[in-house]
Amino acid sequence: MSEKNATTEGSGFAGATRNIVLERLVDVALIIFGLLMLLPLVLLVANGFKTPEEILQWPPTILPTNPTLDNAKVVLAETPLLRWIANTLMFAVTSTIAILITSVTAGYILAKFPFRSMHVIFAVILATAIVPFEVYMIPLYFQVQELGLLNSVAGLLIGYLVMSFGIFLIRQNVLSSIPDELLDAGRVDGASEGLIFVRIVVPLLRGPMGALAVLAFFQAWTAFTWPLIVNSKRQFYTVEVGLALFQTGFTVDIGKLSAAAAIVLIPSVTIFTLLRRNFVRGIATGGVKE
């Protein structure tokens, strides 16, 4: 019995050791993969501080040997980059607020107010996510033109007021985290449906709303095709369209482009850093099945 117990304990110890080693190998692999993913970002920022000669030298350097701010100074002096950032911030923030309002309202209704053909409507909403933007881009442009909204933030917003994935995300979170008993308790206390929505539902959805805010903000922040065709005047450009000006038909000013891109990264990285916990929590909760 003692030999058998010793053998069992030995095999258990060996299995635990293998698991620990495997976990460490996975950690090392993930760290290496993460560093490789960060390398392009590091090169982008570093190129913004390099001279043209150092950018073109071979073998290339990762970090600048003689850092300079000339690229950033030229970009800020010769282009309305700060104006482009302000335009994009206004567009992205307004679009995010609109998507939060439409997604929370529609997601709550689809989750807690069952009605005839509800599943059909929900399926249609989800189906719109697979329709390419190019399919309805031209008709949408003519609508914006008829409304006289070209070269304006309002014209940009026409295509970024609703997000089908946002409605899905909020609906799933409402189904999984807000019990019907809680809403019935509010109705018994005499609260109206609007008060229940504002005072009970919305506070409980702060996590998924934070995740949706990140997705909606970056969807608008990185938009290129729609701002390009809606805005024809340079002062109304967004950052993605403005950054494309650093590339001509035959050349690319890598130093200036990298410096401008590094400046543009500051607002987006700041917002993601502030909302990263809500983003992870909201996406994880949204994956819970009914």
For residue 226, give the nearest of 277, 160, 182 by alpha carbon. Answer: 160
Write out pLDDT tens, residues 128-155. Answer: 888 888 888 888 889 888 888 888 888 8
* Token pair recorded at residue 148: 């006289």
How confident is the model at residue 290, as a pLDDT?
Answer: 43
pLDDT above 50 for 281 = yes
Write out pLDDT tens, residues 6-23. Answer: 555 555 556 667 778 888
Helix segments in the chain, DSSP class H: 2-47, 52-56, 70-78, 81-112, 118-127, 133-146, 153-157, 164-177, 180-188, 193-196, 202-204, 206-221, 225-230, 239-244, 254-286
Whether domain 70-286 has CATH 1.50.10.10: the reply is: no
Average pLDDT over residues 159-178: 87
Q: What is the DSSP string of 143-166?
A: HHHHTT-TTSHHHHHTTSS--HHH
Average pLDDT over residues 199-209: 87
How confident is the model at residue 13, as a pLDDT?
Answer: 57
Residues of the chain above pLDDT 90, percent: 5
Measured distance between the N- and C-terminal CA atoms of the chain, rounded to whole angstroms? 50
pLDDT above 90 for 104 = yes
What is the model's pTM? 0.77
Write out pLDDT tens, residues 222-237. Answer: 888 888 888 888 888 8
How confident is the model at residue 207, as a pLDDT?
Answer: 82
How confident is the model at residue 289, as a pLDDT?
Answer: 44
How confident is the model at residue 9, as a pLDDT?
Answer: 54
Is the separation of the CB atoms in 229 and 137 below 8 Å? yes
How confident is the model at residue 102, as a pLDDT?
Answer: 93
pLDDT band (50, 70, 90) for residue 267: confident
Write out pLDDT tens, residues 45-98. Answer: 888 888 877 777 778 777 888 888 888 888 888 888 888 888 888 999 999 999
